[in-house]
Structure 1
């Protein structure tokens, strides 16, 4: 016979956990459970914002109130640090992005006998949830779901397609993958679709790489006042509010540093933000992003110096790093193990580390702490609202 237990915390994937480690899906702290069943809800439940919640894999925590969301994001970050034995100087207030703020998303589409489905995949499954609404992506993107579904129904292939949507200066940029256009009529229909819906750009990959079908003017993204060319599929911080906070933290922490290296710089989100009163090296492996940053740097009056370099295979060496006053890095989810080892061996005394993976960040931060750094500041960021994806900014000094 099972025994009534209380949920005390949320696990990394969003399940509630009891004192003896039982995971119960859909539960929240304060709930009473009997086995896997919730027998009494605690005070932290709210009505989900979207009809698809519970099926769609895009959100795991729409049933949780603001206090629970903040605690979840904070605990993910703090627990990752403590799991590596790191002492935290100051944990700054947790930031949660608001609803309908995501300016980029990848949807999945499939042509069917009845038409087409378009949306995110179900949690833990390959089935596509046919979106009727979405509470997380920006309204400009949501408005294109129905027209794009119609285009896929008429001209889509039999196989599943991916649709990358992003909000640029000129409007919505759409990139379709696994989408062969059968004949001239389909190509003309794609151009008409882009024109009729005022797209900034439509790029279609028919199996040979992305080909631009429609781009009435060059697509750009303004980064700290600098219009930067935006290659199709470019990485952007998911929400403008989180990006602004990350930049504010970086500027404050790098005050007084005149020569800074921005590693894994992408289009230059941080490099252009840090250019005032500083010289910034912007190192990036992706050639398209590097060239975009290089084009933008012309408008930055020589303050940003782009460098095309694969920091995984060829990290900046200790002798190179030691020339800088400080380093900022924002690596992919895998972290930056090789580059961190070089930073640890250098004479650098200040590192700003932005991360989308608390686990790899904590591993890298531990390496720096072993080399004499201290984790001075740490900010948890919930940029992907209602999901279990957590980000952070941090400052390490020695």
Structure 2
């Protein structure tokens, strides 16, 4: 039964929190102070209507916003949105008992997302292509995505639909990752599993009709018609199919700029969780770099880009699982700076080794404020000082936030 509630505040995932008849209820796409009607579903509520709107509400620019689970904040005015996102980080730091000034939020959306993942599902006789609805596996079909770069906005749904049509006989759920590169679209299809030789030939023909640079299944390259190059500084990298990539070009440039600036005086830098080298290749313009990453393909791509680019300082690479086998303190002591860019889970095991080392400078890049705070607290307790903290809004219109923290060993404190 529908009920009317007042939104008291927003949670970290942008859901409004209200007190309903049965306790706390979480409501998406609302704002503090609004009176709304919801249909409760456990601890969540489906928004029926906004009965008294906040002055901070604005009209979403995407026609799919109400149904789609991809964006969560298009209904917020820009100033409110920025303050809310900075407050997420400030609140997380307070919980971890970390005192540090938070710099203004950096807008790193740029032209938009250069990679999107669309879903193909067959819940009935028809094929459905699009994004998922909030808290659901139901597909919201889209014809375009306005937060993607211009080249992907309409092309990505069309490519996903063409691939779905080609592979629909198996009726398997497909997740189709489409990346815009310097040489065209790089597409990785997941969910289907292995295909027969005849089907691979059909996919090769399809890639030609769609003019794809590369088409792969679960990272296994079916055809590479052109190397799908990504510009990183003054180099060009061809990452492994389906591998990690910063969400926006501007986001990568902002993060890398902060990293390079912090490491300007470092002669030797360890770049841990280095991916295909967005930081290493820029750092090598002034410093020697040792790049470490679990994925061997990413290390190969980085090494190839380094060798093809004249004028860089030496980059060495190492394929290593830093969760199970972190660099030890004696190994780290050879470096003037360590750069960390781990997955969402953070890098607790590696950070404990850094804490035990003599490395004077740590630059921590994180896509999760909570794990950033946990790891930073370990370093602070061992004598590091968090001297700069920059929130970077690469995932605009979502609750996700990138953080760059610069931590320097407090020599005076260490001596005492």
Q: Report the equivalent of 1:58.
A: 70
Q: Report the equivalent of 2:119.
A: 108
Give, in angstroms, the shift of residue 152 of structure 1.
Answer: 1.4
Contact 1:99 1:136 (8 Å CA) reproduced: no
Structure 1 residues 344 and 236: alpha-carbon distance in aligned structure 2, compared to 1, 3 A threshold: same
2:89 counterpart (53, 63, 77): 77
Q: Report the equivalent of 1:29.
A: 32
RMSD: 2.5
SS of aligned partner of 2:67: coil
Q: Report the equivalent of 1:92.
A: 103
Contact 2:7 2:32 (8 Å CA) reproduced: yes
SS of aligned partner of 1:81: helix
Contact 1:100 1:135 (8 Å CA) reproduced: no
Q: Report the equivalent of 1:131.
A: 142
In 2, Cα distance between equivalents of 1:171 and 1:293 = 20
Structure 1 residues 5 and 187: alpha-carbon distance in aligned structure 2, compared to 1, 3 A threshold: closer
Q: Report the equivalent of 1:46.
A: 58
Q: Kindly indicate whether residue 374 of structure 2 is the aligned counterpart of residue 383 of structure 1.
A: no
Contact 1:101 1:138 (8 Å CA) reproduced: yes
Give, in angstroms, the shift of residue 306 of structure 1.
Answer: 1.1
Q: Report the equivalent of 2:280.
A: 271
Contact 1:99 1:135 (8 Å CA) reproduced: no
In 1, Cα distance between equivalents of 2:300 and 2:124 = 43
1:328-339 alignment runs, 5 A limit: 328-339=339-350
1:357-376 alignment runs, 5 A limit: 357-376=368-387
Contact 1:140 1:172 (8 Å CA) reproduced: no
Give TM-score, length-normalised by structure 2. 0.87
Q: Report the equivalent of 2:190.
A: 177
SS of aligned partner of 2:117: strand
Structure 1 residues 163 and 277: alpha-carbon distance in aligned structure 2, compared to 1, 3 A threshold: same
In 1, Cα distance between equivalents of 2:99 and 2:194 = 56
Structure 1 residues 211 and 76: alpha-carbon distance in aligned structure 2, compared to 1, 3 A threshold: same
The CA deviation string for residues 350-390 of structure 1, in whole angstroms up to 9 with x for no partner, is: 11000011111100000011011111111112211111111
Q: Report the equivalent of 1:253.
A: 262
The CA deviation string for residues 94-150 of structure 1, in whole angstroms up to 9 with x for no partner, is: 023447510112211124766522111111111111112212222322313124313
Kindly indicate whether structure 1 or structure 2 has the higher relative contact order, using CA contacts under 8 Å at least 6 residues apart. Answer: 1
Structure 1 residues 18 and 122: alpha-carbon distance in aligned structure 2, compared to 1, 3 A threshold: closer
In 2, Cα distance between equivalents of 1:318 and 1:138 = 42
Q: Structure 2: any 5+ residue segments left out of the alignment?
A: 39-44, 410-416
SS of aligned partner of 2:70: coil
Larger CA deviation: 39-48 vs 231-240: 39-48
In 2, Cα distance between equivalents of 1:184 and 1:4 = 58
Contact 2:73 2:398 (8 Å CA) reproduced: yes
Contact 1:165 1:175 (8 Å CA) reproduced: yes
2:316 counterpart (287, 302, 305): 305
Structure 1 residues 170 and 265: alpha-carbon distance in aligned structure 2, compared to 1, 3 A threshold: same
Structure 1 residues 67 and 29: alpha-carbon distance in aligned structure 2, compared to 1, 3 A threshold: farther
Q: Kindly indicate whether residue 326 of structure 2 is the aligned counterpart of residue 318 of structure 1.
A: no
SS of aligned partner of 1:273: helix
In 2, Cα distance between equivalents of 1:375 and 1:44 = 33
Give, in angstroms, the shift of residue 22 of structure 1.
Answer: 6.2
The CA deviation string for residues 336-361 of structure 1, in whole angstroms up to 9 with x for no partner, is: 01110011111122110000111111
Contact 1:226 1:296 (8 Å CA) reproduced: yes
Contact 1:111 1:153 (8 Å CA) reproduced: no
Q: Kindly indicate whether residue 218 of structure 2 is the aligned counterpart of residue 214 of structure 1.
A: no
Give, in angstroms, the shift of residue 70 of structure 1.
Answer: 1.1
Q: Structure 1: any 5+ residue segments left out of the alignment?
A: none
Q: Kindly indicate whether residue 170 of structure 2 is the aligned counterpart of residue 167 of structure 1.
A: no
The CA deviation string for residues 19-42 of structure 1, in whole angstroms up to 9 with x for no partner, is: 997644332134346897743211
1:119 counterpart (116, 119, 130): 130
Contact 1:103 1:141 (8 Å CA) reproduced: yes
SS of aligned partner of 1:129: strand
Larger CA deviation: 152-161 vs 379-388: 152-161
Q: Kindly indicate whether residue 203 of structure 2 is the aligned counterpart of residue 190 of structure 1.
A: yes
Q: Report the equivalent of 1:15.
A: 15
Give, in angstroms, the shift of residue 16 of structure 1.
Answer: 2.4
Contact 1:155 1:181 (8 Å CA) reproduced: no
Contact 2:110 2:251 (8 Å CA) reproduced: no
In 2, Cα distance between equivalents of 1:23 and 1:244 = 36
Aligned length: 391
